[in-house]
Structure 1
Amino acid sequence: MMLAGCASAGAAEPPATDAATDATAGLSVDEIHLGYFANVTHAPALVGIEEGLFQEALGDDVTITTQVFPAGPPAIEALTAGAIDATFVGPNPAINTFIQSAGASARVVAGAATGGAALVVRDGIDKPADLKGTSLATPQLGGTQDVALRNWLTEQGLKNDTSGGGDVHVTPTENAQTLTLFQQGDLDGAWLPEPWVSRLIIDGGAHVLVDETDLWEDGKFPTTVLLVRKDFLDEHPDAVEALVAGNLAAIKWIDDNPEEAPEVINGAIEKETGKALAPEVITRALDNVTFTADPAAGTFKTLVDHGITAGVQKEGSIKGLFDLRILNKLLEADGGTPVSAGKLGED
């Protein structure tokens, strides 16, 4: 099934929600704290809240308290502190917390989106060598797009460091400010997730220098996963099952409603940010994102290497990062195909 050119991976076909809702009736919690970003790459979270799909899966007796974050690192801080129970987040912050805590902090229980990230730049920059002496932005130091940019620059022989030095000056900047600075000519480009890639192109006149899809085998790389605090998973697996069921229901809803979905996603973004995206921006952004519950676990060892190269992550094992047993139980119950943890956890 397609949404503006985007299809959920066949290996993670969402199950029907009715059975999942029945299975999670009478949960062991009365409130769940959930984090996410107001980005197109977090559309399953936006749709799940807006359309009441998480609430349906959790039941009427459970309150959902949400918190919107600008990037991955602050979401991880909140998760680690116990301020939230689960969050939609990029893969590199998930890797970081797992390694730093020696596996005690959190588990990836499902995917949400792949694709939808790129390096966009001003006119006059047409090849890697043109970047020498430029200033580029990423959403936040240590975030998924920050790691992707720093790793790619290093591969191109362009020195960079976490203090903004080197051949290319990388400055972590909040996404809306990145757009403003780019429009003012104070930034030469940025590696961003959607819809900010499309906003810089349509609203700022940028062009794509590197589409991250081109850097991965089969063009598949994880952008958003559902990460749950390990203690919460251990103590309340029924509540986690409801969250995973809500995520699956949201992905299915997006697939089933290709005409309505852009409006709902855009409305949710407007509610959180105070400004809706232009129709051409939301259309272009959705063209570049695939919504899937498969977290693409097979890419995570490479992501670890990228983080080390970027200088924002220490070495360590990520074996045990994934616990996909609940996800696969729901998929199999609906006749779907289980997804793999890539020998990095339970599936």
Structure 2
Amino acid sequence: MKKILTLGMVLLVGVVLAACGSSSAENGSNDTVTIGYFPNINHVAGMVAEEKNLYSETLPDGTEVKYQYFPDGSAFMTALETGDIEAGLVGPGPAMNHFTSGAKVSVVAAGSTGGTVIMARPDAGIESPEDLAGKTFISPRVGCTHDVQFEALMKGEYGMTSDRVGGEMKHVTGKPATYSSMFKTGNVDAATVPEPWASFIEEQGTGEVLIDTPDVAYGETLPAAVFVTSNELIENDPELVQSIVDAHKKATEFIQNNPDESKTIAIDKIKEITDQELSREVIDRAWERITFTYEVNGEVLQDFANSSHDLGFLDEKPDLTNLVDKSFIE
């Protein structure tokens, strides 16, 4: 409970500060730039950029840089649309869903790929994916990135769906940090788990890998995190957007060239934000399932969106033609 309350308090402070300040859209200036991200390992570029003060290196002199942390993609996208943040890292699912709902946002880079693992409780009687019929699985949110990856695999390869559409698997939702304890108490049988929580579960011995990252739908090609900003900012101040993306690129290159220091930053930052301390062994194992890159593949995002529609998470088949703007990374 302490961990959840600590994160909640941090998020509440972030919301209060955002509400008390004036955004660049409101005051017509860009004296303050706020970057958002999640406290998880797919968003290490955000942690590195904050720790190394990289945005101050690329933004105009005198620009104040702030950071806001989010519990889920919906909250992040809402903050982006209302101007509480200028840019940041979010899962592809929320970015895609808000775009198809009419949000004027653009994916201008990727943050990472990979990192989704399907795990099973050791005593749940699950030896293969076929054994998931009648079992309860958990994902962070209905229709989130990891949920779609799991359900697309199960429907496409095994002809199995969740009870959301009258299928054989029971679906519940919850925070990934709680999955280990839920396995231990027997509340769930399987989980679609983002890193580093899959590696944490492995370390705790409360769950076993059923389907590893390469075999999950879009496992190694789908961006696990994308870097997004508003179309309004792109239209009004493309130079500022370029400066923001340049800092994100610097952070990504730092991770690629300095993995050990980047791991330490991730461990310290996750502990600072969530009060959850992860071991170096957990981070080392999780790192092997993730590729940190700012290159973004729009075709993979479209394929993923098609899967989300096929699964019934989207009412209409989406057209993501204008979602990705690669001009800032080329």
Task: Give the TM-score category using the shorter length.
Answer: 0.7 to 0.9
Provide the C-alpha distance between the structure 1 equivalents of 2:170 and 2:138, rounded to a whole number of angstroms: 8
1:208-231, Cα deviation, whole Å (9 max, x unpaired): 212242246894221111011111
Cα gap change, 1:297 to 1:76, in 2 (>3 Å)? same
Match of 2:51 in 1: 50
1:141-177, Cα deviation, whole Å (9 max, x unpaired): 22111111222222222231448x6311111211222
Match of 2:226 in 1: 225
Match of 1:255 in 2: 256
Provide the C-alpha distance between the structure 2 equivalents of 1:219 and 1:189, rounded to a whole number of angstroms: 21
Provide the C-alpha distance between the structure 2 equivalents of 1:134 and 1:192, rounded to a whole number of angstroms: 16
Match of 2:187 in 1: 186
Higher deviation after alignment, 176-185 or 241-250: 176-185
Match of 2:243 in 1: 242
Cα gap change, 1:207 to 1:60, in 2 (>3 Å)? farther
Assess if the C-alpha contact under 8 Å between 1:127 and 1:209 holds in 2.
yes
User: What 5-or-longer segments of structure 2 have no aligned partner?
Assistant: 1-27
SS at match of 2:259: coil
Provide the C-alpha distance between the structure 2 equivalents of 1:65 and 1:305, rounded to a whole number of angstroms: 35
Assess if the C-alpha contact under 8 Å between 2:180 and 2:207 holds in 1.
no
Assess if the C-alpha contact under 8 Å between 1:121 and 1:206 holds in 2.
yes
Match of 1:3 in 2: none
SS at match of 1:325: helix
**Structure 2 residue 158 is the aligned partner of structure 1 residue 160:** no
Match of 1:36 in 2: 37
Match of 2:9 in 1: none
SS at match of 1:158: coil
Structure with bigger RCO (C-alpha 8 Å, 6+ apart): 1
Match of 2:8 in 1: none
Report how far residue 91 of structure 1 moved. 1.2
Report how far residue 83 of structure 1 moved. 2.4
Higher deviation after alignment, 175-184 or 214-223: 214-223
Structure with greater helix percent:
2
Which one-letter code corresponds to 2:186 in the other structure? G
Provide the C-alpha distance between the structure 2 equivalents of 1:111 and 1:219, rounded to a whole number of angstroms: 13
Assess if the C-alpha contact under 8 Å between 1:108 and 1:321 holds in 2.
yes
Match of 1:132 in 2: 133
With normalisation by structure 2, the TM-score equals 0.85
Which one-letter code corresponds to 1:118 in the other structure? V
CA RMSD across the alignment: 2.0
Provide the C-alpha distance between the structure 1 equivalents of 2:49 and 2:97, rounded to a whole number of angstroms: 26
Which one-letter code corresponds to 1:160 in the other structure? S
Provide the C-alpha distance between the structure 2 equivalents of 1:247 and 1:231, rounded to a whole number of angstroms: 19
SS at match of 1:265: helix
SS at match of 2:100: helix
Match of 2:114 in 1: 115
Which one-letter code corresponds to 2:107 in the other structure? V
Give the 5 Å matches for 1:1-347: 29-101=30-102, 104-123=103-122, 124-155=125-156, 156-162=158-164, 166-215=167-216, 219-314=220-315, 315-328=317-330
SS at match of 1:262: helix
Cα gap change, 1:218 to 1:172, in 2 (>3 Å)? closer
User: Share of identical aligned residues, percent?
Assistant: 30
With normalisation by structure 1, the TM-score equals 0.81
SS at match of 1:33: strand
Provide the C-alpha distance between the structure 2 equivalents of 1:319 and 1:254, rounded to a whole number of angstroms: 30
SS at match of 1:166: coil
Match of 1:341 in 2: none
Which one-letter code corresponds to 1:105 in the other structure? K
Cα gap change, 1:75 to 1:147, in 2 (>3 Å)? same
Which one-letter code corresponds to 2:319 in the other structure? S
Which one-letter code corresponds to 2:324 in the other structure? F
- How many residue pairs align between the two structures? 299
Provide the C-alpha distance between the structure 2 equivalents of 1:218 and 1:114, rounded to a whole number of angstroms: 8
Cα gap change, 1:111 to 1:197, in 2 (>3 Å)? same
1:295-323, Cα deviation, whole Å (9 max, x unpaired): 12221121011111222123221111111
Assess if the C-alpha contact under 8 Å between 1:136 and 1:187 holds in 2.
yes
Match of 2:24 in 1: none
Which one-letter code corresponds to 2:111 in the other structure? A
SS at match of 1:319: coil
Report how far residue 259 of structure 1 moved. 2.5
Provide the C-alpha distance between the structure 2 equivalents of 1:218 and 1:68, rounded to a whole number of angstroms: 25
